[in-house]
């Protein structure tokens, strides 16, 4: 006689295979273990000594008890504005010519000095500086729209 296995989800019984049944209930037991035992801690008896082992979960209250101060200065609006600025900058950089893009890339991402880059491009420092100013003004216009 084959044994039938059922699991209950949202109040409905479903017939499942033995493997699915055991996997489902194993994961449920694991979840329950983590929700209750790991959160609260457990009592261990070793050599006639009772020891309470604290939970692995750390809360803000627990950290404050230990003397650690956590500042909650996260501002969602600032985060959104920063992400918007990044998107505008990406768009603006994509609109640059390849020469302008290369100059910005070398100066700001590869951290080269204007003097080093001017040598590589075989041009005068002043010319490169003026190009950089024009490019930055071009990028600035996208932020003023």
Q: Enumerate the CATH 1.10.10.10 domain ranges in the chain, comma separated.
A: 76-144
**pLDDT per residue as tens, the chain (145 positions):** 578 888 888 888 888 888 888 888 888 887 777 666 555 666 666 666 666 566 555 667 766 777 766 666 667 788 888 888 888 888 999 999 999 999 999 999 899 999 999 999 999 999 999 999 999 999 999 888 6
Residue in the structure block whose two tokens are 């500086």: 129
Q: DSSP string of 34-48?
A: HHHHHHH-EEEEETT
Options 1.10.10.10, 3.30.300.30, 3.40.930.10, 3.40.190.10; CATH of 76-144:
1.10.10.10
Assessment of whether the complete model's pTM goes beyond 0.75: no
């Amino acid at each position: 006689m084959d044994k039938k296995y059922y699991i209950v989800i949202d109040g409905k019984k479903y017939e499942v295979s033995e493997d699915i049944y055991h996997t489902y209930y194993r994961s449920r037991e694991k979840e329950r273990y983590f929700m209750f035992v790991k959160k609260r801690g457990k009592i261990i008896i070793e050599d006639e000594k009772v020891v309470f082992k604290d939970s692995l979960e750390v809360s803000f209250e627990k950290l404050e008890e230990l003397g650690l101060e956590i500042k909650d200065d996260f501002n969602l609006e600032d985060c959104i504005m920063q992400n918007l600025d990044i998107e505008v900058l990406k768009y603006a950089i994509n609109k640059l010519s390849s020469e302008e893009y290369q100059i910005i890339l070398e100066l700001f991402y590869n951290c080269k000095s204007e003097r080093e880059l001017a040598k590589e491009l075989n041009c005068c420092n002043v010319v490169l500086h003026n190009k950089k100013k024009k490019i930055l003004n071009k990028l600035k216009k996208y932020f003023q729209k």
